[in-house]
Amino acid sequence: MKPISEHELAEKLRKQYIESPPEGMTPYDIKYMSDSDLLDMDYFLHEFDDDDDFEEEDFYLF
């Protein structure tokens, strides 16, 4: 399978988020975001998706 480029991923995410924008954003906002801003937004929206067992007591600042 051919790896997907950052630009291709950003365009795929752009289409997804234009159809269903995150709370507080409009399709217009998404349409004119840079690829890197869009990828960053997606990362932060899904940062803890894989860690369903995350609890506050598991988080420590040193």
pLDDT at 50: 65
Higher pLDDT residue, 55 or 11? 11
pLDDT in tens, 6-31: 999 999 999 999 999 999 999 999 99
C-beta separation of 10 from 41 below 8 A: no
